[in-house]
Amino acid sequence: MKIAQVTPLYEAVPPRLYGGTERVVAHLTDALVELGHDVTLFASAEAETRARLIPVRDQAIRLDPEPLKSDLAAHMTLLAAVLDRADTFDVIHFHTDILHFPFFRDLADKTITTLHGRLDLKDLPEVYERWPEFGLVSISDDQRRPLPHANWKATVQHGMPGDLYRFSPTSQGYLAFLGRISPEKRPDRAIEIATCLGKPLKIAAKVDAADKTYWETVIKPLVEASPMIEFVGEIGDHQKSAFLGGAEALLFPIDWPEPFGLVMIEALACGTPVVAFRCGSTPEIIEDGATGFLVDTMEQAVAAAAKAHELDREAIRARFDLRFSATAMARRYLDVYGDLLARRPFAAHVLDGDPILPLLEEHSFAFRA
């Protein structure tokens, strides 16, 4: 199959530091290439990929030192580049939220759109009602709840390469928080849990400009007040194995409808259990009592973190390999792509001079494997 992957331009592919969507696109793209497909990635120029790269910006937006830049203009250029080459692809897979809808309406039958963010926002229902022809993929079933009548085609959970993170059979006794300093991520809860247990807590997180006041007035004073709390700052993939693998548990004390939570499966890959509040996607990711604990209150969170060391870290890693590998994710998307091709009018679409039907027959086992 000839597949286009279209990523946002905010982070490199994969991201140098924090970043979820672009990291998932990187893993999916490489896995599809490994499975024998012809993949083209539309991204910024510093992307590291096994696919054919179409660079549409010299570097990703967030870490670009240029003080004056337009993310809208950059993404308009991205969409134009895809549109110019649209006829060369069997499937165009967008990860750019809803931005492409007005431009690709006539090509909607060859597109799939994975939604990576929260969907409980005003104005969104009207968009999906206006452009119902675009097939959508959710990253958790819970993500769909605000838009139950949208054109959902599948739920495909994220995955990552099995060799990206090292398994750690033992911990170094500290608790970990990894992600972003923001009110909905609740690092304050993580600090309270660690403090109640008298355990060290390491916080590896970025501070966005929008959350700087929250950091300065709420979280930073809590960090500075305790020698048991260490703020590491923002880290990249090459540092995560040591950070997560050394943790007795990852604390995921969120207070918002998390669409997925990539950090949870990053921890599982290292064999580290996750203590997560029952919110958003967490019940779909964490197997309570096996790969971590799901909690509803701070009292339950403290108790769960205290016994996290009792869980079998090898079994946790095995569950990651079974459920969250990049190959498993790619095969699920191949199912989605296959269904898309099967629904397209055969008479109007020809691949390299041959009808689509033989292509579907040839790859039917790949779609369902």
pLDDT digits (tens, 9 = 90+) for 308-335: 999 999 999 999 999 999 999 999 999 9
Sequence letter at residue 143: Q
Q: How far apart are CA 327 and CA 228, in angstroms?
A: 39
Q: How far apart are CA 82 and CA 5, in angstroms?
A: 9
SS3 299: helix
Residue 41 confidence (pLDDT) above 80: yes
Strands 350-351 and 354-355: antiparallel
Average pLDDT rounded to a whole number, residues 166-194 = 96
Q: Name the region of 235 (left: φ>0; alpha: ψ -120 to 50; beta: rest).
A: beta
Average pLDDT rounded to a whole number, residues 125-131 = 96
The pLDDT tens digits of the residues spanning 3-40 come to 999 999 999 999 877 778 999 999 999 999 999 999 99
Strands 292-295 and 274-277: parallel
Q: Cβ distance 218 to 225 under 8 Å?
A: no
Q: How far apart are CA 304 and CA 291, in angstroms?
A: 12
The pLDDT tens digits of the residues spanning 64-109 come to 999 999 999 999 999 999 999 999 999 999 999 999 999 999 999 9
Confidence of residue 346 (pLDDT cuts 50, 70, 90): low
How many angstroms separate the Cα of 86 from the Cα of each of 95, 108, 164, 334?
16, 11, 32, 19
* CA dihedral of residues 73, 77, 78, 84 (deg, nearest 10): 160
pTM (two decimals): 0.87
- Residue with tokens 């490199």, as numbered in its chain: 12
DSSP 32-100: HHHTT-EEEEEEETT---SSEEEEEESS-STT---SS--HHHHHHHHHHHHHHTGGG-SEEEE-STTTT
Q: How far apart are CA 240 and CA 145, in angstroms?
A: 32
Confidence of residue 357 (pLDDT cuts 50, 70, 90): very low
SS3 217: helix
Count CA within 13 A, CB hemisphere, residue 356.
20
Which domains does the chain carry? Answer: 2-161+326-368 (3.40.50.2000), 174-322 (3.40.50.2000)
As a residue count, the chain comes to 369
Strands 274-277 and 174-180: unpaired
